[in-house]
Amino acid sequence: MQLANSSHTVCVPTLCNNMPSRAYLASFLIVTSFLSTTSHLHTLAAAGAFPESDDIFALDIVSKIRTDRNSTIKASMDFGHIVEAIPNGVLHPTSPNDIAALIRLSLSQPKPFTVAPRGQGHSARGQALAPGGVVVDMRSLGHDHHDAGRRCRRINVSTDELWVDVGGEQLWIDVLHTTLEHGLAPRVWTDYLHITVGGTLSNGGIGGQAFRHGPQISNVHELDVVTGTGDMVSCSPDKNSDLFFAALGGLGQFGVITRARIALERAPKRVLWVRLAYSDVPSFTGDQELLISKRSAGGFDYIEGQVQLNRTLTEGRRRSSSFFSASELDQLANLAHGTGSAAIYYIEGAMYYHGDDDTASSSSSAKLERLLEELSFVPGHAFVRDVSYVEFLDRVGRDEQKLRSAGVWDVPHPWLNLFVPRSRIVDFDAGVFKGILRDTKPVGLVLMYPMNRDRWDDRMTAATPDDDVFYAVGLLRSAVAAGDVEQLERENAAVLEFCHRERIGCKQYLPSHASRDGWRRHFGDKWSRFAALKRKYDPRAILSPGQGIFSAAGDGLTDRVASDSSL
């Protein structure tokens, strides 16, 4: 583990005893550079060098930056455990004003330091890291520091206007429980709820309800954003709209989302949770596309799908399931043996209902039976559970506890998420699931489900394929044994190379690109606007450097960024 960016002065002599002289010198220079900067600024402030209106030191921002080794090491890794980047400090803000003050502090330096907001650190490729800069611990905003660390949730519900105002640091699971107290809930959920509102809104926020309501970013009325110029801006489709549409799905490049006003609907009481097995991809995708065409009453309220590679079913490396029983997993394994297909596919659907009595349950079951008659799943392979709404939505949270207990949660996650156009999904299946990954036995999930593109607002910076329907494909695999990371990364590279060679036309979700040209291709026609907005709202390129889209902080941005000739 690198120690070069540890900035706790007490630790320096101790580190010296265990580090080569060159490494110690590098550590010492970084320590003294960061601490001397803050000391110098305090001196200037005491001398009246800053205008009275400047609130940097009124907020005592420097005192809220932790530079001890434990803090910086903790902020140097994300959920992916693939990329490590140690910051020089970690800000623990008590209000959005602190974040604005930190950014202005950075901009006051001859060479600004980078700033990266971090919620739960659930990124997979270092997107929430700030090498040599300052990470903002967004979760600190949810604490009342004057009441023994008691969590003070910034969640306010309007039952009249059907919205909830939520701090960007809040977890979706807390939003769920708070809104349910009023009989309400947001319309769209990610599969995993123990992540922050600001984090998912900076990326898109997709899930099984997106076919009907669009991603989470399509269900926001208003934002508060701290921009890369240190300004605190409220924005909406009618007010500062360019920032509103830029920040939603903007990968943290234009500002830090500190508040979002999110649309609500009446919350159901219970859910008929369904999985339907298929042995061929045309039937599987055909039924999925039929189901997402039913946007009103009469269909599922949630639609996703999974691909179960047969070797994970038939050769004993499958994990226990929070849905399937052991006998049902045996049934699926027998189906895999019997068909000889490279994969078994299943649609995951959910039908909500509002009553919790026998009449409501019977009515919903009858509605489900009518819907299943329209579908072409393998006979005898429809599996149904009747669960509470919360139990359904927090299903991955329960899986997390099992994986933590087994010691396989905090492991590398070389995930790859793609949006694949409907016109090429069968080709993708043939080349990837029946080709590149055919003989693999991954630990984790492979998701595959369609969404309607007209539920995405094209004014936002999020990139999708051009087809009216496209599929979310998630290779959500974990590295649990020696050599797994390298093997999974080679397979990911082979999938991307296949898509490029065969002109599949896919886009990465939660994207990671190694070059400016890769980013230009990713955003396509949106690139020039994306770069122009970056120049406007983060001209020194200090925000979210882990994305790797723009050059290092302090260089500034020029018109050349938006020009293809510079790529």
d(CA 189, CA 211): 12
Considering the candidates 98, 137, 191, 429, report the single residue annotated as catalytic: 191
d(CA 303, CA 297): 14
User: What six digits make up the tokens of 383?
Assistant: 């599996």
d(CA 471, CA 464): 10
DSSP 43: H
Give the residue carrying structure tokens 């005491």: 46
Judge contact between 317 and 329, C-beta under 8 A: no
> 403: helix, coil or strand?
helix
| Residues 6 or more apart whose Cβ sits within 8 Å of residue 330 | none
Give the residue carrying structure tokens 């003294």: 32
CA dihedral (384, 389, 391, 396) positive or negative: positive
Give yes or no: 304 in active site.
yes
Residues in the chain: 567
d(CA 353, CA 364): 7
d(CA 328, CA 366): 23
Considering the candidates 78, 224, 304, 538, report the single residue annotated as catalytic: 304
Question: What DSSP string runs through 210-248?
Answer: HHHH--GGGGEEEEEEEETTS-EEEEBTTBSHHHHHHHT
* C-alpha closest to that of 192 among 123, 134, 271, 104: 123
Considering the candidates 92, 122, 213, 413, report the single residue annotated as catalytic: 122
Give yes or no: 122 in active site.
yes
| Residues 6 or more apart whose Cβ sits within 8 Å of residue 83 | 77, 125, 126, 129, 546
Q: Catalytic residue numbers?
A: 122, 191, 304
